[in-house]
A and B are shown apart, each in its own frame.
Chain A
């Protein structure tokens, strides 16, 4: 190789590099979502997909989004996340608690890809977490539930006894107690996020046990439809479910993920992405209780609005002491408000919830 050809080769290489740089700049950012259920579940996954669509709308040609639905939590999830990273997605969102460990393993293999996990608690240099505050929704739902209940017993269909779900049960109970201090809350666990016939059966058993207003932390509209069939009340969960039950629907506890997804993609495009833990809620426009039924008295609606305004202004905290467990132990002193660490460690039922938390999950 003589000097001249070396020079030529160098020139060619420089041109190629320059060309690939400009090409890279024009390439849209590839972002992928991993869903635990079908997009059409009308609940949890559907809500996340609305967030994905909000990203497409806002960023247009700058992003290219894909999603994989119905991914089981476990070994399959790891394979799916790895595939998405290998296909050149630069940011991947995993939208279920059980995707945490698989995502963490894949994150270590792809240091130049950014990973985002919903509702978890583990981070890495290229993996961060985001979460909503559904307990703010359930607190508001509790106010309405206690007002509408004739039997003084509310029912809750739980998925798995993890801190998030326990916070939601406790928030629901505390909200209900502001209306009726003697309210009882019964809990039935189905040990699944999504099994409509089973969710219906659990709802039916709560109704049979005297509960007349139900709330659920599972992903289908089955509980709401079971309440409708029995002439009882219930709430929509994750997204607007008012269409599923004309009479039974008292309101829908929702999460509107768009604002967070837009923020995350913005961080990627501006190069400002860093590992954080983001807990969103009513103040961020993420959580809300919407479509409150006309059957709910105006005074109760006003009480809910007042709570909402307090949450928005940061003046109100759902978990404010004194908080006592249903075994009589004080977990938060009078006048204290819960911090994040306290909320992360919720492993008890507050006073008013019946029964004991199933051990081990």
Chain B
């Protein structure tokens, strides 16, 4: 009983970086820009966040630094693909490769350093409820922030005017341009916010989750977040579901091992990927939905007056 509660809590914490990065990338892609640099942005943000938290002793400063680093990386990417019309796929890949190397290089002095001890997290009153407390109410505030972000993102994209414009820019930039909307500026803002969210995800890994810095700390989670947005057919609620599912199955396979279940651990290690893809493909298999949700101009450069 209590073990199940702890498994739920661990799944939520494990899925949080994927929620943050996945939602950031979703916003990017809804505006028509595909950024394959997620892994690189998360790594640079992870070291920036860790260094900031280490020097100030404040996790919050780490998050701000992570967001800034992610946005900074995204700004470079945005300038290249939006104003200089470079190929989005190649530029994104370059950003990932650069981020991997750069974070390792600047992080050398931070390896083996230890952050100040974290205070245990508990939502007052609610944390003491049996089962429900340890499962849902003893988590880091960022876990709840990520859930709230999914709701805000859904509202923004489907219920707000600005969100409608952003989607229009992703669907048909030429039409949006003809209506007088600044397509490039809107895309750039989406890229910046997407980068900042990937940055917060990276900082969450190094400041709260691990909490330490080593080279390659993100370990492929940026790529998983990218895949997640596509498998979730660009819907915030499904990104949330997919991320927690991935975290849940990851934790489940460790729990099965510690319970002594007789399945080869290599097979168990594969399960999170398999389960997440299967579930998301099953709930998103309606071709009409996929057509409706996939931004029509994803990855295509836009030349105003071209």
List chain A positions with a Cβ less than 8 A from chain B.
38, 40-42, 46, 70, 155, 161, 186-189, 191, 194-198, 200-202, 204-206, 208-211, 220-222, 225, 228-229, 243-244, 354-356, 358-360
Check A41/B219 contact, CB under 8 A, given A222-B210, A356-B262: no
Known contacts: A201-B251, A208-B10, A355-B262. The answer to whether A188 contacts B214 by CB under 8 A is no
Q: Judging by beta carbons under 8 Å apart, are B210 and A197 in contact?
A: yes
Contact in complex: B264, A358 (CB < 8 Å): yes
Contact flag A225-B3 (CB < 8 Å), given A41-B112, A358-B266, A360-B266: no
Residue of A whose beta carbon sits closest to that of B258? A209
Contact A195–B219 (Cβ < 8 Å): yes
Contacts of B219 in A (CB 8 A): 195, 197-198
- List which B83-111 residues lie within 8 A (CB) of chain A: 104, 108, 111
**Residues A355 and B217 in contact, CB atoms below 8 Å apart:** no
Report B-chain residues with C-beta under 8 Å of the C-beta of A189.
257, 265
Q: Are B215 and A70 in contact (CB under 8 A)?
A: yes
Report whether B117 and A228 are in contact in the complex, using a CB–CB cutoff of 8 Å: yes
Extra pairs beyond A38-B111, A222-B212, A355-B257 (12, CB < 8 Å): A42-B112, A186-B258, A195-B219, A196-B210, A196-B217, A197-B209, A201-B14, A204-B10, A208-B255, A210-B3, A225-B211, A358-B265
Q: A361: nearest residue on chain B (CB-CB)?
A: B266
Task: Evaluate whether A191 and B10 lie within 8 angstroms (CB atoms) in the complex, with A197-B209, A209-B255 already known.
Answer: no
28 CB contacts below 8 A, A to B, read A38-B108, A38-B214, A40-B111, A70-B104, A155-B258, A191-B265, A195-B219, A197-B219, A197-B221, A200-B210, A201-B10, A204-B6, A204-B10, A205-B7, A205-B10, A205-B254, A205-B255, A208-B6, A208-B7, A208-B255, A209-B255, A221-B114, A225-B210, A225-B211, A243-B114, A355-B260, A356-B260, A358-B266
- Of B3, B257, B259, B260, which is in contact with the most chain A CB atoms at under 10 Å from its CB? B257
Chain B interface residue count: which class? 35 or more
Tell me which of B117, B118, B217, B260 contacts A354 (CB under 8 A): B260
Complex Cα distance, B263 from A360, in Å, reads: 12
Q: Are A360 and B264 in contact (CB under 8 A)?
A: yes
B269 contacts partner chain A, Cβ-Cβ < 8 Å: yes
The residue that A200 contacts in the complex, of B209, B221, B258, B261, with Cβ under 8 A, is: B209
| Closest 5 pairs (CB-CB, A-B) | A40-B111, A355-B260, A205-B254, A42-B112, A209-B258
B111 lies within 8 A of A42 (CB): yes
Query: B interface vs A, CB < 8 Å?
Result: 3, 6-7, 10, 14, 104, 108, 111-112, 114, 117-118, 205, 209-212, 214-215, 217, 219, 221, 250-251, 254-255, 257-262, 264-266, 269
CB within 8 Å for A40 and B217 given contacts A191-B266, A197-B205: no
**Quick check: A188 and B266 within 8 Å, CB to CB?**
no
Contact present for B269 and A191 (CB under 8 Å): yes
- Cα A359 to Cα B263 in complex, Å, equals 9
Tell me whether B111 and A229 are in contact (CB under 8 A).
no
- Chain B residues with CB below 8 A from A40, complex form: 108, 111-112, 214
Residues of A within 8 A of B6 (CB): 204, 208
B214 x A196 contact (CB < 8 A): yes
Q: Is the CB of A188 within 8 A of B112?
A: no
B270 CB to nearest chain A CB (Å): 10
Contact A209 B3 (CB under 8 A): yes
Q: Closest chain B residue to A155 by CB distance? A: B258
Contact A359 B264 (CB under 8 A): yes
A200 to B114, CA, bound (A): 15
Answer whether A188 and B257 are a contact pair too, CB < 8 Å, given A41-B111, A198-B219, A208-B3.
Answer: yes
B217 proximity list for chain A (CB < 8 A): 196-197
A183 to B211, CA, bound (A): 30
Bound-complex Cα distance A177 to B82 (A): 65
A108 to chain B, nearest CB (A): 31
CB contacts (< 8 Å) of A204 on chain B: these are 6, 10, 251, 254
Query: What residues of chain B lie closer than 8 Å to A355, measured between beta carbons?
Result: 257, 260-262
For residue B19, give the distance in angstroms from its CB to the closest CB of chain A. 15
Q: How far is the CA of A62 from the CA of B173 in the complex (A)?
A: 68
